[in-house]
Amino acid sequence: MENMTGFKRARFVLLLGALTSLIPFTIDMYLPAFPSLAKVFETNASAVQLSLTACLLGLAVGQLIAGTLSDMQGRRKPLIISLIVYVLASAACMFAPNIGIFIALRFAQGFAASAGLVISRAIVRDVSSGAELTRLFALLMVVNNLVPLLAPSVGSGVLIFGDWKGIFLALSVLGLVLLLITAFRMAESLPPHKRIPSNWKSTFSNFAIILKDRQFTGYALAQGFLIGGVFAYVAGTPFIYQNIYGVSPQVFSLLFGMNGIGLIIGSYAVGRFSYIISEKRFLETALYAATLSGAVLLAVILADGPLWAVVIPIFFFVTTIGVVGTSSFALAMETQSHAAGSASALLGLLPFILGALTAPLVGIAGEETAIPMGLTIFSMCLIALLAYQFLAKNAVRAESR
């Protein structure tokens, strides 16, 4: 990585960023269509949110498979196969005859999209370490965090000129473009002599070994629970903003996209100042800030506050995700140099498993209350802070004695 010119470095980051962007596009682009999907499939908010849950479960399971295969067979082959599946699954979503089939196809879509994230992260670990790993991953996160600014707006734009099927047509085209770029422009970053033998039993034993590292587990849980709160926000706000506060799909997309600015600020700050402020300091500060933001959000919701009073704490909460996502990933991956793909898969698994659990909770009390979302976000923030304090931080203290 150190031998790359500025142009090659930028192209490298943009390529990996494009691959990881497949996930936020897959998750966020169809959010403005949630109310219309409920009408088309003649179902309720929870059933539509279940399609998000299915996608998140696919992303979680897929990362385990893709991350493991990439340690065994290299990075390119599993990535190319997954992109082929993604294109087919996205196209099939357009022809789903009912909500059940649609949910199943969303699982397949998420399963296939997962490889872009987990393998890109593994490639970053293949080519860098230390502060360079943090800076490179921060750049990757900045590129990736631009997508929440665009995806809902693109989705709402499609809804102006067409219906929800146009969103999945656009996702199919995006997957096809990434497939062609990967096949013709991406080099292999994991040479054969560094690959893990094709033994699934030893691979899953390796997962257990990684999870016994209290630092890794603490960082992973802190990131996982906090991002679990993000998915409560992602699943809840389409109905809360549009049904409770009466905003249009376009205004919802604008409000949702604004939070992408917060993600970029958080990620950029870690990358820009990582040589001055330690990743651990960044992480701890952000976890406290997230918990405070979650508490304020819950208080506003319980007091039936206006829209602006809900939007502001959500913005600060999402901003902390940029900090926590970047710093916790760098700290966790720094502890694992022997199986970057497996470690990356575990880091990706927890947020999507927890997101799959939290997404349907926000609609459990119906479409006219935001209380479940506020409770879920605050709870996830608090648990993330406790996981960091009692696992990662205590492990660091024990090692320093």
CATH code assigned at 147: 1.20.1250.20
105 in any annotated domain: yes
In a domain, residue 331? The reply is yes
In order of 255, 314, 316, 326, the CA distances from 258 in angstroms are: 5, 10, 11, 19
The domain containing residue 354 runs over which residues? Answer: 6-189+197-400
In a domain, 303, yes or no: yes
Evaluate if residue 67 carries a pLDDT over 70. yes
In sign, the C-alpha dihedral spanning 393, 68, 124, 181 is negative
Inform me whether the pLDDT recorded for 148 exceeds 70. no
Asked if residue 375 has pLDDT above 90, the reply is yes
- Residue 252: which pLDDT band, with cuts at 50, 70 and 90? confident
CA distance 62 to 22: 14
How would you label 103-133 residue by residue, b for 16+ Cβ within 10 Å and e otherwise? bbbbbbbbbbbbbbbbbbbbbbbbebbeeeb
Q: What percent of the chain has pLDDT over 70?
A: 86
326 CB-side CA count, 13 A:
37
For residue 220, being part of any structural domain is answered with yes
Distance CA 209, CA 206 (A): 5
Is residue 142 domain-resident?
yes
Is residue 293 scored above 50 in pLDDT? Answer: yes
To the nearest whole number, what is the mean pLDDT of the chain? 82
| Cβ count within 10 A of residue 2 | 7
Answer with the residue of higher pLDDT: 30 or 360. Answer: 30
Tokens 């608090």: give the residue: 382
Higher pLDDT, 147 or 278: 278
Examine residue 1 and state whether it is found in any structural domain, yes or no.
Answer: no
pLDDT tier at 1 (50, 70, 90 boundaries)? very low
Domains contained in the chain, number:
1
